Amino acid sequence: MIPLTAQEIADATGGRLVGGAAPDAVVRGATTDSREVSPGFLFIAKPGEHADGHDFIPAALDQGAALVLLERECEAGGRPVPGVLVEDAVLGMGAVARRVVDRLRAGGQVRIAGITGSAGKTTTKDLVAGLLRPLGPTVSPIGSYNGEVGVPLTIFTAEEDTRYMALEMGANGLGNIEYLTSIARPDVGVVLGVGSAHAGEFGGVENIAKTKGEMVEALEPEGVAVLNADDARVWAMRSRTRAQVLALTADDSLSDEEVSAQHPGARVLRARGVSMRPGGMPSFELVGPDGSTARVDAQLIGAHHVTNLLAAAAVGLSFGVPLEDVAASLSSQKAASRWRMERTERPDGVTVVNDAYNANPESMRAALRALADMAEGRRTWAVLGGMLELGDTSIEEHDAIGRYAVRLNVSKVLAVGPLARPLFNGAVMEGSWGDEAQHVADIDEAERVLAEQLQPGDLVLFKSSRDSRLRELGDRIACQSGTTPASVDHQGDQQK
């Protein structure tokens, strides 16, 4: 972290020094987890859903915390806690992160990309970071640190020589992206798609679109708005930005002239001639805004990653990376975060694809399409759990996913948990008879079914929202038959 004094933190947050905190005391790191504190750190005593950070202040001080960002004055060991008193610790950490960005901006070298969308944010962020890291010190979140806590924590890892930031920005309500962009102030803003994830929380898909569009509204005129032109709601956001617009498309039905005509006033970055290689990995010709081309043979599983690859390419090009270098990087990168189409080959010939970090109707369909593309004559299993936060459309959306799996000729559909019961019903109504579709109450029962019925050569996909816990079941199934965690190609770690 860029060193900040206690007085600078108080000034940034509008807080007050308490507990005898020295104004010139310097902090060189910041965290909300007392277990991660090192000497000289700022400990942020954030109230949580299940615990209050103030209860962990003594542990943080024992670990060497130099200062505490707190909402009430406290004592530890009979002494006042040296800190900065603020009304809201989460807003306070956002203000400190903003000060870090200001310091980096003053140096004149840092370039920041902000990435949002209903699906694909983490993969795109990982691709961008992998593309930029060889060019200079690059900061990106671990896994999916993408909210009002995660984005500041990511920014706190920046040092004075940081040249690039690839920041994932998530939302669960109107104004969330606006707030995050006020902290980071991106040079390039990416919107991947508008889906129905969290539609219940947002009050509808149109509110999701309104929120995602806050990304491009935050850009300065010299910035770049990267918009997925194949998503009508995203493409409509071009009217909401002062920045230059870079359109992304994988639509092969149009000629080059028609592509230009359909995207007036925008530069276009295109994936032309998309095909799927063995293993379900996409290849395409990357066509730059100037018409130059380069081949991308991606290492990611699923055609849905083409948009993510295009978005990462757009960031790289916007930051001056040559097209050939962009294509070479995208052709070499594997998934860097866990539970995103994570493939494991068991010694008994069973292939496990664990994509159960999160789910919405769009990402469910994408994962099922990838499963079908990978099949190549093998028996396929779709182990599917509930999709959360869909509101009044939940039953309808789950039913549609079950029907879609059958239309893709998935051999076995295993619906797990009460929320997934309509998914099973949809599969049956679409024509999945006998034991082709099953419903089980929980992941323990699902594990018993799989232990009894999986055969060598089977290909099994796990997909659900996080709280449905299928990622845990996927890990257990992947590690059966002699496979150990050390021999599984997890392609990175996770966090949200």
Q: What is the pLDDT of residues 133-153, one digit of tens each?
A: 999 999 998 767 899 999 999
Contact 13, 92 (CB under 8 A): yes
Nearby residues of 63 by Cβ (< 8 Å), 6 or more positions away: 34, 35, 37, 38, 39, 41
Two tokens at 302? 């699923």
Query: b or e along 150-181 (b: 16 or more beta carbons within 10 Å of the residue's beta carbon)?
Result: bbbbbbbbbeeebbbbbbbbbbeeeebbebbb
Kindly list the domain boundaries of the chain, sorted by start residue. 4-91, 109-332, 342-487
Full DSSP string of 35-79: GG--TTEEEE--B-SS-BGGGGHHHHHHTT-SEEEESS--EETTE
| Other Cβ atoms within 10 Å of 293 Cβ, number | 14
Our CA angle for 160, 162, 167, nearest 5°, is 125
Contact 51, 114 (CB under 8 A): no
- Report the pLDDT value the prediction gives residue 200, as an integer from 0 to 100: 59
Question: For the residues 255-278, what does the mean pLDDT come to?
Answer: 89
Say whether pLDDT at 112 is over 80: yes
- Report the pLDDT value the prediction gives residue 172, as an integer from 0 to 100: 85
Can you say whether residue 360 is alpha, beta or left, with left for phi > 0 and alpha for psi between -120 and 50 degrees?
beta
Contact 14, 5 (CB under 8 A): no
Dmax (CA) for the chain in angstroms is 75
Say whether pLDDT at 483 is over 70: no
Beta strands in 288-379 (DSSP E): 293-297, 342-345, 351-354
Architecture of domain 109-332: 3-Layer(aba) Sandwich (3.40)
- Report the pLDDT value the prediction gives residue 495, as an integer from 0 to 100: 27
Say whether pLDDT at 490 is over 50: no
Q: Which residue has the higher pLDDT, 436 or 200?
A: 436
Positive or negative CA dihedral for 475, 432, 435, 392? positive
Do domains 4-91 and 109-332 share one topology? The answer is no
Say whether pLDDT at 432 is over 80: no
CATH top class, domain 4-91: alpha beta
With CA atoms as reference, report the closest residue to 365 among 396, 328, 409, 405: 405
Say whether pLDDT at 128 is over 80: yes
277 band by pLDDT with thresholds 50, 70 and 90: very high
CATH superfamily of 342-487: Mur ligase, C-terminal domain (3.90.190.20)
Q: What is the pLDDT of residues 287-329, one digit of tens each?
A: 999 999 999 999 999 999 999 999 999 999 999 999 999 999 9
